Amino acid sequence: DAGVIQSPRHEVTEMGQEVTLRCKPISGHNSLFWYRQTMMRGLELLIYFNNNVPIDDSGMPEDRFSAKMPNASFSTLKIQPSEPRDSAVYFCASSLRGGGTGANVLTFGAGSRLTVL
């Protein structure tokens, strides 16, 4: 398996533009997570899905952020309109959860570095 695949790896855009980040999780994984990493705030969980259903989106900063998972092999994180404070590295991670073990080991993608000017 190629691992968790994210695109684009780098995105530079101007304030007000729409940004769409994409993620392909590991085949067979049933949970998908979107994290944001900045120097100031560290690694923040934005939203996560279980079996394509959003379970917890309490970390989504505001209405400008939205995430979808139309099927088990694809997810998007959209920012509209983007602002300079959205500049960060956005990570997608997936895991296989089951059996009630609560183990939930994550496999991360390489990240999408977003710069909003």
Partner 1 sequence: SQQGEEDPQALSIQEGENATMNCSYKTSINNLQWYRQNSGRGLVHLILIRSNEREKHSGRLRVTLDTSKKSSSLLITASRAADTASYFCATVAADRGSTLGRLYFGRGTQLTVWP
Supply the minimum distance, in Å, between the C-beta of residue 81 and partner 1.
Answer: 27
Cβ nearer to partner 1, comparing 37 with 81? 37
Total residues at the site for partner 1 (CB under 8 A)?
26
Per residue, what are the HEC states of 28-81? Answer: CCCEEEEEEEECCCEEEEEEEEECCEEEECCCCCCCCEEEEEEECCEEEEEECC
Cβ nearer to partner 1, comparing 81 with 107? 107
| Sign of torsion over alpha carbons 98, 100, 105, 110 | positive
Counting contacts by CB under 8 A, is residue 104 touching partner 1?
A: yes
Supply the minimum distance, in Å, between the C-beta of residue 8 and partner 1.
Answer: 15
Residues 5-34 binding partner 1 (CB under 8 A) are: 31, 33
90 CB neighbour count, 10 Å cutoff: 22
Distance CA 12, CA 58 (A): 26
Q: How far is CA 38 from the centre of its chain?
A: 14
Residues 49-88 binding partner 1 (CB under 8 A) are: 50, 55-56
Q: What residues make contact with partner 1 under the rule CB under 8 A?
A: 4, 31, 33, 35, 42-43, 45, 48, 50, 55-56, 91, 93, 95, 97, 100, 102-111
